[in-house]
């Protein structure tokens, strides 16, 4: 009943959807050259081999499965991998980092007509859903095609769990599309069981299997020369409403150390100019997208480019995890842990709760309440290099101890290939 209503809503609401998607294209949120892919129209030929389809919503999910893709392709020469995502930034990232025999398409909008055309053309032999983007038409049409589906690193937020709980039969129909459910945490395992998941196995969070982020040696050397011996720290993957707090922390540190340089890498690179305007005229801001240099009087360097976070994690010995001083749920602390960084986060890390708990127990992360405590912790770690180094080593050790998770997940996936 609810599925029929959902499909009817899509049919009746098509004009509104068209307006919404047009507005996204106008703002650069959609790929103008490849927009037909969002309508189920392919832009690449289907490989003449077995095809494993991996759907990852955006940047974080797609990056987390890159090591998995490499291992699957290395161990199974007769397969290709199709990766679908829904954002322009993730598509750009995949274009740079997908290995040979892996290709990318935009995921179709969840209208049944578009979804059916997508499934009919690509005819995947195995589908792998990453984390939590449960599009009903896409999942059910894939299931009805006879393709087995795995939920990888399954996650259900408290808000989503509450919403799904109001429609238990519909939720069960969606969750039962999965032949195997691999939750990312014990808490997610409980939620997925409550929603009706079958054949559920907890192995661990696949993000522990990530490789260190890549970097360009020449660009890094250029930046390191500009930074020199200044005190430098990084606020990674920040969101609207958070940069003002980073500025306040910067100003408090600057009172103690005039030479401090704060690097901000926004989660959405297109926000660079917006952030500059937001920070105002009281600080000197340089934008990387404009090729503006870091000068002696530069206060804040906004790294509003794609695919360079690996450089900034290596340059900055102290890293703050964005999305955690506001109600966003935080981002992945494993990435900087690979790269000898002392890690700080706010107390809104719900998306990585169990990982942060493990980091805290290991002494590998510091949590702060607000921008004032953030400034205090950053300056304290800069003044105490021994403590900073110890934190970084503990984080790196913890991540290395979880490397087997990736191989155990691959063992489960290969049973379906």
β 180-183/232-238 pair status: unpaired
Round to whole Å and give the CA distance between 182 and 154.
6
One domain, residues 85 and 11: yes
CA distances for 257 relative to 296, 315, 378, 388, angstroms = 13, 19, 11, 17
Contact 374, 176 (CB under 8 A): no
Predicted confidence (pLDDT) at residue 31 exceeds the cutoff of 80: yes
Pair 367, 410 in one domain: no
Check whether residue 128 and residue 226 sit in a common domain: no
pLDDT at 18 (0 to 100): 74
Confidence of residue 1 (pLDDT cuts 50, 70, 90): low
Burial annotation 127-138 (CB, 10 A radius, 16+ → b, else e): bbbbbbbbbbbb
Whole-number Å distance between alpha carbons of 98 and 202: 27
Per the listing, tokens 């770690």 go with 381
What pLDDT sits at residue 21? Answer: 79
79 pLDDT more than 90: yes
Taking each helix axis from N to C end, the angle separating 353-361 and 186-194, rounded to the nearest 10 degrees, works out to 150
Active site residue 37: no
Structure tokens at 209: 């299997």
The pLDDT mean for the chain works out to 93
Question: Same domain for 280 and 344?
Answer: yes
Distance set, CA 258 to CA 72, 104, 146 (Å): 50, 46, 63
What residue numbers bound the domain in which 190 lies? 2-205+404-414
221, 199: one domain: no
pLDDT single digits (tens) 256-283: 987 899 999 999 999 999 999 999 888 9
Do residues 266 and 272 make contact, with C-beta atoms less than 8 angstroms apart?
A: yes
In the sheet with 102-106, reading across from the earlier edge strand, the strands are 102-106, 79-85, 50-55, 126-130, 149-154, 180-183
Strands 79-85 and 126-130: unpaired
222 domain-assigned: yes
Residue in 324, 340, 327 with CA at minimum distance from that of residue 388: 340
Q: What is the CATH number of the domain that holds 87?
A: 3.40.50.11720
pLDDT band at 98 (very low <50, low <70, confident <90, very high): very high
Question: For residue 362, what is the domain's CATH number?
Answer: 3.40.50.2000
Asked whether residue 210 is domain-assigned, the answer is no
Q: Which is the catalytic residue, given 30, 37, 61, 242? A: 61
Distance CA 147, CA 141 (A): 9
- How confident is the model at residue 175, as a pLDDT? 93
User: What pLDDT score was predicted for residue 297?
Assistant: 93
Nearest CA to 286 among 307, 303, 306, 311? Answer: 303
pLDDT of 383 higher than 70: yes
**Band of pLDDT at residue 176, cut at 50, 70 and 90:** very high
* Number of structural domains the chain divides into: 2
Q: For 225-234, write each residue's pLDDT tens digit.
A: 999 999 999 9
Q: How far is CA 2 from each of CA 132, 275, 357, rounded to the nearest angstrom?
A: 20, 42, 38
Adjacent-strand bridge partners of 54: 83, 128
Q: Within a 10 A sphere around the Cβ of 323, how many other Cβ atoms?
A: 24
> Do 410 and 379 lie in a common domain?
no
d(CA 80, CA 246): 43
Question: What is the pTM for the complete model shown?
Answer: 0.84
pLDDT tens digits along 321-369? 999 999 999 999 999 999 999 999 999 999 898 999 999 999 999 999 9
Task: Please list the residues that pair with 149 across neighbouring strands.
Answer: 127
pLDDT of residue 71 exceeding 80, the answer is yes
Q: Would you say residue 9 has pLDDT above 80?
A: no
Residue 378 lies in a domain: yes
Please determine, for residue 291, whether its predicted confidence score (pLDDT) is greater than 90.
yes
């Amino acid at each position: 009943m609810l599925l029929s209503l959902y499909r009817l809503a899509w049919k009746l609401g098509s004009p509104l959807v068209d307006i919404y998607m047009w507005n996204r294209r106008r703002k650069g949120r959609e790929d103008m050259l490849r927009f037909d892919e969002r309508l189920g129209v392919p832009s690449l030929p289907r490989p003449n081999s077995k095809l494993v389809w991996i759907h990852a919503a955006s940047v974080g999910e797609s990056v987390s499965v890159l090591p998995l893709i490499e291992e699957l392709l290395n161990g199974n020469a007769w397969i290709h991998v199709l990766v679908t995502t829904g954002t322009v930034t993730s598509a750009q990232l995949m274009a740079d980092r997908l290995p040979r025999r892996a290709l990318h398409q935009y995921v179709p909008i969840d209208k049944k007509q578009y979804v059916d055309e997508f499934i009919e053309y690509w005819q995947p032999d195995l589908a792998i859903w990453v984390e939590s983007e449960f599009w009903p038409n896409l999942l059910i049409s894939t299931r009805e095609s006879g393709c087995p589906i795995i939920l990888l690193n399954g996650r259900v937020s408290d808000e989503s769990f509450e919403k799904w709980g109001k429609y238990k039969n519909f939720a069960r129909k969606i969750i039962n599309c999965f032949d195997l459910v691999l939750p990312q945490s014990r808490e997610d395992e409980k939620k997925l069981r409550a929603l009706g998941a079958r054949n559920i196995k907890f192995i661990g969070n696949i993000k522990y299997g990530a490789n260190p982020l890549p970097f360009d040696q020449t660009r890094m050397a250029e930046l390191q020369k500009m930074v020199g011996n200044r005190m430098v720290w990084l606020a990674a993957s920040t969101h609207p409403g958070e940069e003002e707090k980073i500025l306040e922390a910067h100003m408090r540190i600057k009172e103690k150390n005039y030479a401090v340089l704060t690097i901000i890498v926004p989660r959405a690179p297109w926000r660079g100019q917006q952030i500059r305007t937001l920070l105002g005229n009281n600080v000197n801001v340089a934008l990387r997208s404009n090729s503006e240099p870091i000068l002696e009087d530069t206060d804040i360097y906004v790294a509003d480019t794609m695919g360079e976070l690996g450089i900034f994690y290596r340059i900055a010995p102290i890293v703050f995890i964005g999305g955690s001083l506001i109600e966003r749920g935080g981002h992945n602390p494993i990435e900087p842990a690979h790269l000898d960084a002392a890690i700080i986060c706010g107390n809104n890390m719900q998306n990585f709760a169990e990982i942060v708990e493990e980091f805290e127990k290991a002494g590998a992360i510091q949590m702060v309440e607000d921008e004032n405590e953030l400034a205090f912790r950053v300056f304290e770690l800069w003044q105490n290099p021994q403590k900073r180094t110890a934190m970084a080593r503990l984080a790196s050790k913890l991540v290395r101890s979880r490397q087997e998770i990736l191989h155990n997940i691959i063992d489960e996936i290969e049973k379906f290939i």
